[in-house]
Chain A
Amino acid sequence: MGHIFLACLVLLSCLGSLFSTQMAWAERMVTDLSRHTIEIRSQFSGTELLIFGAIEREILQGDGGHGVSIEGMDYDIIVVVQSARHDMIVRRKELVGPIWVNKDFYTLKNVQGYYAVASTRPLRKILSEDNLRILQAGIEYLDIDFIEPISELEDAAYRAGFIRNMKAKKLYNQREGTISILDDILFRAILEFPANMPVGQYQVDVHLIRDGEILLSEESPLEVGKAGIERIIFMFAHEYPSYYGIMAVIVALFAGWLGGFISRKMSE
């Protein structure tokens, strides 16, 4: 049985290479997320997201153009996850008299509150810097621009300070070489989200690359929102702040009265 199977396989691969010299081959990629919504509830303490997919690599092209021979294990995958963009302020502490005080600041135009990138190999080995910049793949290639005029030296210092902050809060993550492609077909990437992740619409991009060329890009949406009681409290506080304030006072007065009542009963 085994020999027959092997013989068939050899025959098939011979046929394959025969066709490949005559026909064009292109890849197809299917990707999905372990879930498309992340809900922040009362026990939320950060989460993981599994991004997986399959590469289908021998598809006959209808137009019958020139074929390219496809060697094994030469695909690369880059996964980029980013939240909606908004403005942020970066402040720097300076010594004023004896104490450290927030002094100068610059405003960042439209930056991601959350950003993560994962890849099969170090990014620079997969793509050129220009292409990485186009894909916004890699923290150092992100468009991080200040609204205010800023000197080159300060730009570098503030940008580095911003990235250090975001990395420390686990809001910016770079995980090169963490994706493995199984049998040249299946791949999976696991990305982590901290509890303080911003809410809103996220975008997940999966790029298929070979020989420094972006073959395919798949985009999936990801929705991050507060849910349950957390959502009700947050929305209430931000949409109806004065009613929220009155509610907070009433809750406190009642809870305080109740607490006093219980402890009086207990000590009697």
Chain B
Amino acid sequence: MQIYLPIAEISINIFLLLAMGGGVGFLSGMFGVGGGFLMTPLLIFVGIPPAVAVATEANQITAASVSGALAHGRRGGIDYKMGGVLIIGGAIGSYFGSMIFTVLKATGQVDLMISLAYVLFLGAIGGMMFVESVRSILRNRRGEQPTPGRRHRTWIDALPFKMRFRTSKMYVSAILPLAIGGLVGVLAAIMGVGGGFIMVPAMIYLLHMPIKVVIGTSLFQITFVTANVTFLHSVNTQTVDVVLALILLIGAVIGAQLGARVGLKLKGEQLRILLAMLVLVVCAKMAVDLVVKPDELYSVTSVEVVH
């Protein structure tokens, strides 16, 4: 059954969209990640204009992360003060990200920037995850224990504007969470991702936040920042397709349920290595599309009517 998407302005099979939502939802439930970094490239591969894919995916992530954030909030798994600082960073970042996006869309370079950003970030994150999980598997085989030595003082402790975060029992400079939030905001605006894959490692390894508040706080920030991105893209480029976002969400809700059950049966390292390979495959596909000579060198766009 075909459905006409009002903003993307294309007709597409609704079952294909539901399956995509379900598939990505399954993987995100299994791995405990947002799935934006998989969904946006998938949407582009099936023919959704890249700008619409990015903006719509931000809208879908708002929906996908709100219930998780609420659940963590009920369990006391959110550091609201830290979340607030991350959101301020995210708001600033997404504002600039959206501006870059709007300018590049007008000059015909937005598709290129989306692909480049994906290749860069997926390559780096996937590579790091892959190496890290292989190492930890090897360590386990040799029977070694990771040495949880005392945290050393680093340049991070030397930064000014220190703030006290009671829930996380931390006293760190506000500059670092602001910068992390800002980077995630930029990525949310130009890549259509929640940015959890950057924020969670940054919270653990850079901020040294307690693990029990990391996921909740990250979801809390993602909900607000992607909501902001949805709003900015709606205003600047009119590229948010609510119909598309809702169809994807239906699939994702069902898929995530099943994925979470399968994920419980797999070991942490195995999961990470699978996820790393998945990320690298998506990265490779986008990289190949950039370097292989396209079949059609010319492209046509309507001149936007300036309001």
List residues of chain A with CB under 8 Å of any chain B CB.
40-46, 86-95, 98-102, 105, 107, 113, 158, 161-162, 164-166, 168, 195-196, 198, 226, 229-231, 233-234, 237-238, 241-242, 244-249, 251-253, 255-257, 259-264, 266-267
Contact flag A253-B227 (CB < 8 Å), given A89-B108, A161-B298, A162-B300: yes
From 287 to 307 in chain B, residues with beta carbon under 8 angstroms from any chain A beta carbon are 290-294, 296-303
Residue B271 lies at the interface, judged by CB distance under 8 Å to chain A: no
List residues of chain A with CB within 8 A of the CB of B299: 90-91, 93, 102, 165
Q: State the CA gap A241–B300 with chains docked (Å).
A: 25
What residues on A are CB-neighbors of B234 within 8 Å?
Answer: 237, 241-242, 244-245, 248
- A253's nearest neighbour on chain B, judged by CB, is B66
| A89-B301, A260-B71 as given contacts; A237 in contact with B257, CB under 8 Å | no
Contact between A263 and B257, CB atoms less than 8 A apart: yes
- A242 to B249: give the CA distance in the assembly, Å: 22
Interchain CB contact (< 8 A) of A230 among B6, B231, B240, B291: B6
Whether the pair A196, B10 counts as a contact (CB closer than 8 A) is yes
List chain B residues, Cβ under 8 A from A92: 297-298
Q: Once bound together, how far apart are the Cα atoms of A257 and B249, in whole Å? A: 11
A-B interface contact total, Cβ < 8 Å: 189
A interface footprint on B53-71 (CB within 8 Å = 1, 0 otherwise): 0000001101111111011
Contact partner, A45, options B9, B11, B108, Cβ 8 Å: B11
CA distance A101 to B116 in the complex (A): 11
22 A-B contact pairs sorted by A residue (CB < 8 Å)? A42-B4, A43-B1, A44-B4, A86-B303, A88-B303, A90-B300, A95-B293, A99-B116, A162-B300, A195-B11, A196-B10, A230-B4, A241-B238, A245-B235, A248-B240, A248-B242, A252-B63, A252-B230, A252-B245, A256-B249, A260-B71, A261-B67
User: Is B3 engaged at the interface, CB distance under 8 Å to the other chain?
Assistant: yes
The residue on B at minimum CB distance from A89 is B301
Nearest CB of chain B from residue A60's CB, rounded to whole Å: 50
Q: Are A161 and B296 in contact (CB under 8 A)?
A: yes
Measured CB to CB, the closest approach of chain A to B63, in angstroms, equals 3
Contact A246-B231, Cβ < 8 Å, known A107-B303, A262-B253: yes
